[in-house]
Amino acid sequence: MRRIGVLTSGGDAPGMNAAIRAVVRNAVYRNLEVCGIQRGYQGLINGDMMPLGNRSVGNIVHLGGTILETTRCPDFKIKEIRAKAIEATRKAGIEAMVVIGGDGTLRGATVLAQESGLPVVGVTSTIDNDVYGTDYTIGFDTAINTAVEYIDKIRDTARSHDRLFFVEVMGRTRGFIALQSGIAAGAEAIMIPEVPENIDALCADLERTFKGGKRSAIIIVAEAGEPGSTFRIARAVKEKGGLDSRVCVLGHVQRGGSPTARDRILASRLGAAAVDALVEGRWNVSVGEVKGDIAYTPLEDTWSRRKELDGDLIRLMKILAR
């Protein structure tokens, strides 16, 4: 093996640049050439590539986003289009691939490995933290810290005006961001897809909260695949409980920003581990971190198996959100 490719795909996540840096520098340490594919699978299809060396990835560990840029590429689902991408890798002399992204990206990596015969290793990177085979994905820690920062600011206003606020956070169809940011910010209630929505119970809890002496409250809502759905919930609470509220949708501010130290370290470990895996013959796996150790998960398992929320945190949520 002499030359490997690296790409980032899907939604960007803070720490992707730290992962790219680790891939490149560990590869160079092992006397491998690195080819950076720009704009994810679309760049692979188009043959948009550039050589990467130690100096190419200098001063990027602190940057959000991805220097390779990223796209969502529906065309990669078409076999004939994938064949074009595979041919581009062969022309570029790429003998193995490191693919950085979330479950959609790893789906693409699975098919790429099957159809091309190339050794492929995935690096789990998404703010949603919904990829099986790792306790934490790159970008998740930064996203929840960003969410907590803004929730804290909203609480200042909620307290000053004796007001009920609904704060919507990202997470696609899962409640990882909502659960952890809600507990960290001391939310009075947290609504996640994994727990059935019950407006009557929510109104009763809020009534009990305000009768107990609280004059403001924050409710964290996971977008649950439908950004803006929190407005519907706020209207329902007004109709059933008679409670006025304000809604704040945090949106894509959770994707950007300088990665936390935790995300930089995780990204560095996983990026370097991906190259180690290729050199050691651990192919067609994704690298993650489980209980502090590097873990290798078959690519197909990362997106076909469901990652469960921490049941202890769900129980703690119900105890603390009072």
114 pLDDT above the threshold of 90: yes
Quickly state the pLDDT bin for 214 (edges 50, 70, 90). Answer: confident
Q: Does this chain's domain 3-139+259-304 share its CATH topology with 143-255?
A: yes
pLDDT at 156: 94
Q: Is 224 exposed, middle or buried (0-12, 13-18, 19+ CB in 10 A)?
A: buried
Give 217-228 pLDDT, tens digit per residue: 999 999 987 778
128 is catalytic: yes
Q: Class of 143-255 per CATH? A: alpha beta
Per domain, the residue ranges of the chain are 3-139+259-304, 143-255
DSSP string, 202-220: HHHHHHHHHHTT---EEEE
Fold of 3-139+259-304: Rossmann fold (3.40.50)
Question: What pairs with residue 49 in β-bridges?
Answer: 37
Residue type, 234: A
Give the confidence band of 16 by pLDDT, cuts at 50, 70, 90.
very high
For residue 305, name the pLDDT band (cuts at 50, 70, 90). Answer: very high
The model's pTM is: 0.94
Choosing from 12, 103, 128, 205, which is the catalytic residue? 128
Mean pLDDT of 72-99: 93
